[in-house]
């Protein structure tokens, strides 16, 4: 790694990576996209060229430790370089730089820009350093923890007294360690009498969770990252790895089997540009695509009969159902020519190990669950599960989305269990030494219903932890109204400046990544260790400590006395996992995780597989009682808000660059990252639409839906198809336009298709 800091050449970077100043004209834009993909890779290869990863040479580190990254679900290993304290305390001077770990099985010495800059964002001036309480004039004022804890407990209890225990709810996250999530879930549900809690994983992974549970009997992404390298044919559905999971994409690039890479995405994304076949299907037509593909395979007799008969249930019904999806129909649904569909089918058929990977293009849909299952069904009927280079693989998003799916105790009981099952409640009551009657017998409300509950006046107190819904929630204009109706809103965040913290009654200052310890579970089910490598600023506390303090002040501390510190909590989690599909009771302790380079579940105490990489279902045994996976399907439904009439465009939204993270509370604090993406919101427009509407590149335009109207800069690009517009989610304007539609099974928001219009006149 180069230690000298070569300053960024803004012009070069901006010209290549961002719409700003790129002089985009007409068809040249396709090239730019391809180039962008290459540039993301250059960023990984030569980080110092872009000002990333500078280690102050004058300030040589005294020692180095390791920690997993706290942004995305890839879960890269990082070496964190430390100074000793003035009194000689080892590492007491805190972290002064980091580099990607070379022998961590996930990233093999690579990191993306966010990882490189993980330390830089911790020193921002808008870090929350003391609790803040709204005074009589409505201004947030600093108070000490004593006052804050009293305010929290007094006001939440008052709400509960007046409106019942169900009137207080919480919204949690996929971005804090599993130990913290489980403590929060136990404190609220078993200690505070809270019934309703959900998290931002609803916005993200709920569809995959429900799809897996229904199909496999447990929420279990089956793959290991090695499958990227061992597959002959990788099919990416609504997943833009180049930007959103660049290190996973590097694993694809290491594949030596000359794989077919099929990318199903309405946009010609960076990832699509690097595919062997890009399938620009119409938004939300993937379900029809996979039904058609299944039909084509069945008609040609290309079914793995042995796998299907031994390990699946419902195939005959499925084969009959998909007869209604000949390629002529699929062509109408997807907008792809029949020859292209045949070409795709033959390419897939010609290869042995097929893997399917999906992310938000599938999950964030009004029919996400059935679409995900259309993918799963295809892998079942071709027998592509449980073997190297195969799998029906949902890629998670946040660093600990998988931890929250299993242990947040929000809409599912701890350890992937079910609140409705008496035997599950009994197990948890015994393991946690909590009275069984304190465990609710019904699932609590999902995120959209919690929001609706506030609107209806049923929920009056809300505690928001490590998520920023005032920016990220769908149709956020309505959410602003919703939040203003609450009697008491508490926001627990690293920064006091987030859109949600700004409207809170009480802000609790939290330590962030690198300022506390715990574990994250990544996309391939690997439990990785997070370490404290610096002190949190001011009076900010680890979320774990905040939950403990609230438990004590609330009066339920005794109930949680086992939870003394994160590592003790980890031992509790091990016990909760024992005997479940996500059993990791064979992991000894934190040190074991550190030495092993993380451990993938399952890793039971007896007979745990010591291999560094492992995938599920090698034995063809699924988690349903009969051991079989199910074919689940249903007629595709039309878009809830199709484009047409006054609103002729379909609006797509998603990630804009490898250097931006969600609502930008963190990434916007790094001067280096800020140079790698446009400061203000831009909208991607196809050149033909731009010509027709007389929109010039970089012109200020207006984008309007039935719900809102925003100004944005036009980015004219072939990357987006005619009739569609694309807005990155990192800017607060985007969710002013989106439509509050949800998948009926997962209740995940359909962020990726609503009707809008484009006005060349921005006034
Ligand atoms: N740099 C960066 N990386 C991130 C994040 C970040 O904020 N910044 N966030 C992380 C998180 S939490 C998540 S969940 C992941 C998300 O990772 P991705 O899902 O890969 O990212 P998105 O851009 O949201 O959506 C992927 C693609 O879906 C396409 N799409 C939209 N509608 C459809 C459709 O109907 N069908 C198909 N086939 N495709 C469609 C969009 O055009 C888009 O290119 O990224 C993670 N990684
Ligand atoms: N239009 C549109 N909207 C979308 C999406 C889309 O594709 N399109 N994607 C959706 C998806 S997939 C996701 S995951 C969501 C993400 O939406 P959010 O969860 O709202 O986004 P973040 O910016 O990650 O918010 C995390 C917050 O936690 C804080 N934080 C970070 N670490 C800690 C910690 O350790 N403790 C505490 N207490 N706070 C911490 C951060 O400062 C930040 O305010 O957005 C969703 N919204
Ligand atoms: S790819 Fe994800 S985990 Fe790896 S360094 Fe980047 S943000 Fe961190
Ligand atoms: Mo996400």
Smallest CA separation from ligand 3 atom 4, residue: 76
Residue 29: per-residue pLDDT: 40
Q: Which pTM does this prediction carry?
A: 0.95
Smallest CA separation from ligand 3 atom 6, residue: 112
Q: What are the distances in angstroms from CA 578 to CA 217, 372, 582, 618? A: 17, 29, 8, 20
d(CA 738, CA 581): 37
What separation in Å is there between the alpha carbon of 183 and the centre of ligand 2? 20
Q: Which atom of ligand 3 is nearest to the CA of 247?
A: 1
Q: Which atom of ligand 1 is nearest to the CA of 359?
A: 19
Q: What are the distances in angstroms from CA 165 to CA 483, 488, 503? A: 19, 14, 24
Residue 40: per-residue pLDDT: 66
Domain 222-394 part of CATH 3.40.228.10? yes
* 53 C-beta closer than 6 A to ligand 1: no
Count the residues in the chain.
763
pLDDT band (50, 70, 90) for residue 59: low
What separation in Å is there between the alpha carbon of 427 and the centre of ligand 2? 32
- CA nearest neighbour of 596 among 105, 111, 247, 99: 105
Q: Tell me the mean pLDDT in the region 477-488.
A: 92
Mutate to test the pocket of ligand 2, among 265, 269, 472 (most ligand atoms within 8 A of CB): 472
Q: Which atom of ligand 3 is nearest to the CA of 72?
A: 2
d(CA 508, CA 147): 11
* 500 C-beta closer than 6 A to ligand 2: no
* 752 C-beta closer than 6 A to ligand 1: yes
Q: Which ligand is the nearest neighbour of the Cα of 673?
A: 1
What separation in Å is there between the alpha carbon of 201 and the centre of ligand 4? 7
Number of H helices, E strands in the chain: 28, 26
d(CA 726, CA 683): 6
What separation in Å is there between the alpha carbon of 660 and the centre of ligand 2? 12
* 13 C-beta closer than 6 A to ligand 3: no
* 658 C-beta closer than 6 A to ligand 2: no
Kindly state the helix (H) or strand (E) to which residue 449 belongs, with its residue range: helix 447-455
Q: Which atom of ligand 2 is nearest to the CA of 70?
A: 32
Q: Tell me where in the chain the CATH 2.20.25.90 domain(s) lie.
A: 57-118
d(CA 24, CA 713): 13
Confirm if 90 and 84 have CB atoms less than 8 A apart: yes
Q: Which atom of ligand 2 is nearest to the CA of 498?
A: 44
Examine the pLDDT at 7 and tell me if it is beyond 50: no
Q: What are the distances in angstroms from CA 706 to CA 286, 646, 709, 738? A: 26, 9, 8, 9
Query: Which residues, including other chains, have CB under 8 Å from residue 161's CB and lie 6 or more apart?
Result: none
* 267 C-beta closer than 6 A to ligand 1: yes
* 204 C-beta closer than 6 A to ligand 2: yes
CATH topology of domain 649-759: Barwin-like endoglucanases (2.40.40)
What separation in Å is there between the alpha carbon of 204 and the centre of ligand 1? 10
d(CA 501, CA 515): 20
Residue 480: per-residue pLDDT: 86
What separation in Å is there between the alpha carbon of 396 and the centre of ligand 1? 10
The rounded Cα 284 to chain-centroid distance in angstroms is 20
pLDDT in tens, 642-677: 999 999 999 999 999 999 999 999 999 999 999 888
Q: Tell me where in the chain the CATH 2.40.40.20 domain(s) lie.
A: 649-759
* 662 C-beta closer than 6 A to ligand 2: yes
DSSP 8-class letter at 187:
I
* H helices present in 597-685, as ranges: 671-674
* 94 C-beta closer than 6 A to ligand 3: no
Q: Tell me where in the chain the CATH 3.40.50.740 domain(s) lie.
A: 132-204+401-600
What separation in Å is there between the alpha carbon of 399 and the centre of ligand 4? 9
DSSP 8-class letter at 535:
P
Smallest CA separation from ligand 3 atom 2, residue: 72
**Domain spanning 57-118 has what CATH number?**
2.20.25.90
* 111 C-beta closer than 6 A to ligand 3: yes
- β-bridge mates for residue 682, sequence order: 713
Examine the pLDDT at 4 and tell me if it is beyond 60: no
Smallest CA separation from ligand 1 atom 22, residue: 654
DSSP string, 273-329: HTSSEEE-PPTT-HHHHHHHHHHHHHHTT---HHHHHHHEE-HHHHHHHGGG--HHH
Query: What are the structure tokens assigned to 530, written together?
Result: 């997070």
Would you tell me which CATH number, out of the four given (2.130.10.10, 3.40.50.740, 1.10.490.10, 3.30.950.10), belongs to the domain 132-204+401-600?
3.40.50.740
> What is the Rg, in whole angstroms, of the alpha carbon atoms belonging to the chain?
25
* 515 C-beta closer than 6 A to ligand 2: no
- β-bridge mates for residue 72, sequence order: 398
In this structure, the strands spanning 682-685 and 391-394 are unpaired
Q: Tell me the mean pLDDT in the region 311-330.
A: 98
Kindly state the helix (H) or strand (E) to which residue 682 belongs, with its residue range: strand 682-685
Kindly state the helix (H) or strand (E) to which residue 599 belongs, with its residue range: strand 599-600
- CA nearest neighbour of 98 among 133, 60, 58, 55: 55
Examine the pLDDT at 26 and tell me if it is beyond 70: no
DSSP 8-class letter at 560:
G
Confirm if 496 and 507 have CB atoms less than 8 A apart: yes
The rounded Cα 568 to chain-centroid distance in angstroms is 27
What separation in Å is there between the alpha carbon of 656 and the centre of ligand 1? 9
Q: Tell me the mean pLDDT in the region 398-417.
A: 97
Q: Kindly tell me the burial class for residue 644, based on how many C-beta atoms sit within 10 Å of its own C-beta (0-12, 13-18, 19 or more).
A: exposed
d(CA 360, CA 36): 21
d(CA 8, CA 385): 45
d(CA 224, CA 616): 9
**Exposed e or buried b per residue across 427-437, where buried means at least 16 C-beta atoms within 10 angstroms of its C-beta:** bbbeebebeee
Confirm if 518 and 177 have CB atoms less than 8 A apart: yes
Q: Tell me the mean pLDDT in the region 461-480.
A: 95
Smallest CA separation from ligand 2 atom 12, residue: 204
* 728 C-beta closer than 6 A to ligand 1: no
* 708 C-beta closer than 6 A to ligand 2: no
* Higher per-residue pLDDT: 432 or 23: 432
Examine the pLDDT at 445 and tell me if it is beyond 60: yes
Examine the pLDDT at 9 and tell me if it is beyond 80: no
Q: Is 239 left (phi over 0), alpha (psi -120 to 50) or beta?
A: beta
* 248 C-beta closer than 6 A to ligand 3: no
What separation in Å is there between the alpha carbon of 369 and the centre of ligand 2? 22
Query: Across the chain, what does the average pLDDT equal?
Result: 92
pLDDT band (50, 70, 90) for residue 201: very high
What separation in Å is there between the alpha carbon of 640 and the centre of ligand 2? 25
* 269 C-beta closer than 6 A to ligand 1: yes
pLDDT in tens, 546-564: 999 999 999 999 999 999 9
Cα dihedral 496, 499, 505, 508 in deg (nearest 10): -30
């Amino acid at each position: 790694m180069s230690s000298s800091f070569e300053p960024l050449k803004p012009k070069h970077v901006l010209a290549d990576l961002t719409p700003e100043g790129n002089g985009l004209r007409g068809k040249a834009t396709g090239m730019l996209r391809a180039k962008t993909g290459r540039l993301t890779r250059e960023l990984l290869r030569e980080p110092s060229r872009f000002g990333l990863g500078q280690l102050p040479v004058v300030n040589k580190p005294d020692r180095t430790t390791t920690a997993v990254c706290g942004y995305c679900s890839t879960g890269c290993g990082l070496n964190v370089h430390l100074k000793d304290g003035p009194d000689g305390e080892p590492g007491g001077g805190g972290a002064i730089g980091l580099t990607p770990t070379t022998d961590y099985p996930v990233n093999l010495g690579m990191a993306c820009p966010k990882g490189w800059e993980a330390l830089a964002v911790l020193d921002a001036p808008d870090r929350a350093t003391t609790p803040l309480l709204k005074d009589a004039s409505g201004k947030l004022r600093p108070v000490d923890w004593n006052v804050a804890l009293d305010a929290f407990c007094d006001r939440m209890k008052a709400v509960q007294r007046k409106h019942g225990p169900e009137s207080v709810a919480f919204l949690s996250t996929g971005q804090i360690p599993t130990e913290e999530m489980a403590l929060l879930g136990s404190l609220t549900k078993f200690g505070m009498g809270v019934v309703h809690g959900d998290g931002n994983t609803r916005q993200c992974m709920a569809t995959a969770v429900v799809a897996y549970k229904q199909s496999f009997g447990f929420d279990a992404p089956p793959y290991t990252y090695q499958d990227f390298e061992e597959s002959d044919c990788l099919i990416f559905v609504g997943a833009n790895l180049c930007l959103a999971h660049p290190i996973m994409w590097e694993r694809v690039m290491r594949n030596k089997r000359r794989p077919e890479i099929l990318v199903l995405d309405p946009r010609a994304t960076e990832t699509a540009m690097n595919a062997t076949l890009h399938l620009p299907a119409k938004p939300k037509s993937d379900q029809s695509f996979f039904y058609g593909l299944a039909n084509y395979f069945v008609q040609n007799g290309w079914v793995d009969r042995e796998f299907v008969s031994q390990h699946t249930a419902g195939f005959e019904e499925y084969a009959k159902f998909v007869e209604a999806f000949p390629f002529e129909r699929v062509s109408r649904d997807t907008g792809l020519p029949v020859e292209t569909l045949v070409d795709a089918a033959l390419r897939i058929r010609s290869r042995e190990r097929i893997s399917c990977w999906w992310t938000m293009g599938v999950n964030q849909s009004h029919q996400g669950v059935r679409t995900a299952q259309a993918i799963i069904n295809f892998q079942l009927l071709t027998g592509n599960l449980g073997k190297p280079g195969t799998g029906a693989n949902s890629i998670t998003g946040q660093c600990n989305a998988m931890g929250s799916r299993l242990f947040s105790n929000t809409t599912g009981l701890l350890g992937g269990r079910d609140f409705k099952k008496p035997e599950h409640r009994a197990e948890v009551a015994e393991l946690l030494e909590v009275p069984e009657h304190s465990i609710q017998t019904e699932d609590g409300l999902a995120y959209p219903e919690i929001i609706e509950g506030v609107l209806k006046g049923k929920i009056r107190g809300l505690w928001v932890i490590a998520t920023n819904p005032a920016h990220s929630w769908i149709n956020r204009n309505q959410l602003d109204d919703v939040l203003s109706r609450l009697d008491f809103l508490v926001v627990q965040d690293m920064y006091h400046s987030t859109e949600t913290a700004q409207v809170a009654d009480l802000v609790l200052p939290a330590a962030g990544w690198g300022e506390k310890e715990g574990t994250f579970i990544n996309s391939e089910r690997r439990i990785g260790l997070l370490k404290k490598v610096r002190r949190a600023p001011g009076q900010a506390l680890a979320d774990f400590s905040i939950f403990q303090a609230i438990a004590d002040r609330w009066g339920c501390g005794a109930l949680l006395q086992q939870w003394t510190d994160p590592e003790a909590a980890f031992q509790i989690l091990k016990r909760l996992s024992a005997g479940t599909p996500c059993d990791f009771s064979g992991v000894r302790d934190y040190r074991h995780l550190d030495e092993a380079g993380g451990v993938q579940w399952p890793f039971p105490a007896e007979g745990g597989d010591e291999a560094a990489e492992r995938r599920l279902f090698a034995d063809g045994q699924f988690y349903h009682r009969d051991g079989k996976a199910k074919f689940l399907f249903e007629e595709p439904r039309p878009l809830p808000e199709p484009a047409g009439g006054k609103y002729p465009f379909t609006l797509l939204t998603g990630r804009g660059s490898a250097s931006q993270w969600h609502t930008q509370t963190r990434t916007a604090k790094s001067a280096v990252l800020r140079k790698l993406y446009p400061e203000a919101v831009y909208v991607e427009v196809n050149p033909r639409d731009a010509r027709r509407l007389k929109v010039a590149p970089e012109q200020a335009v207006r984008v309007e839906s039935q719900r809102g109207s925003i100004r944005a800069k036009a980015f004219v690009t072939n990357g987006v198809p005619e009739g569609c517009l694309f807005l990155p989610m990192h800017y607060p304007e985007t969710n002013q336009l989106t439509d509050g539609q949800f998948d009926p099974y997962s209740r995940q928001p359909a962020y990726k298709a609503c009707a809008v219009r484009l006005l060349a006149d921005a006034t």
